[in-house]
Amino acid sequence: MGFRKINYKGKIIKVIWKSCTDCYGMYDSNSRTLTIHPEQSNYNLAKTIYHELWHIICDLNEVDINKIGEEKTAKLSEQYVNLLKNNKRLKNFLNELY
Ligand SMILES: [Zn+2]
């Protein structure tokens, strides 16, 4: 598929496109690997990728996703700009989905 790695905060997250049972995507913070289920609609794929990017943003900013409030959520979500700016292939891929 369109992109194989995500470069964020000086770290490389490996992207694997492979079927996973009972999930659309899964981010493993230990191995810094993102698995994406390829057989899903474009609309769903876009939602899945944004969802997984959110996990990556929280992980690499050392935020426990369960404990953050609205203000931190807003601040962190701005990180999409930083993240996508450095990953043109990922950005273009998302733009083609919807
Ligand atoms: Zn999740």
CATH number at 15 reads 1.10.10
Q: What percent of the chain has pLDDT over 70?
A: 99
Distance CA 48, CA 60 (A): 18
Into how many domains does the chain fold? 1
Distance CA 85, CA 92 (A): 11
Q: Report pLDDT digits (tens) over 23-35.
A: 899 999 999 999 9
- Residues 40-79: b if buried by 16+ CB within 10 A, e if exposed: eeeeebbbbbeebbbbbbbbbeeeeeeeeeeeeeeebeeb
- Ligand 1 centroid to residue 52 C-alpha, Å: 6
- Ligand 1 centroid to residue 24 C-alpha, Å: 10
Q: What is the domain extent for residue 49?
A: 5-97
pLDDT of residue 36: 96
Q: Is residue 1's pLDDT more than 80? A: no
Q: Report pLDDT digits (tens) over 83-94.
A: 999 999 999 999
Mean pLDDT, residues 18-25: 88
- Ligand 1 centroid to residue 92 C-alpha, Å: 23
pLDDT of residue 23: 87
Q: Is residue 53's pLDDT more than 90? A: yes
Q: Is residue 76's pLDDT more than 80? A: yes
Other Cβ atoms closer than 10 A to 34:
22
pLDDT of residue 20: 81
- Ligand 1 centroid to residue 96 C-alpha, Å: 23
- Ligand 1 centroid to residue 8 C-alpha, Å: 18
- Ligand 1 centroid to residue 46 C-alpha, Å: 14
User: Which amino acid appears at position 3 of this protein?
Assistant: F
- Ligand 1 centroid to residue 66 C-alpha, Å: 11
Distance CA 3, CA 16 (A): 9
Mean pLDDT, residues 1-19: 94
φ, ψ for residue 19, nearest 5 deg: -60, 130
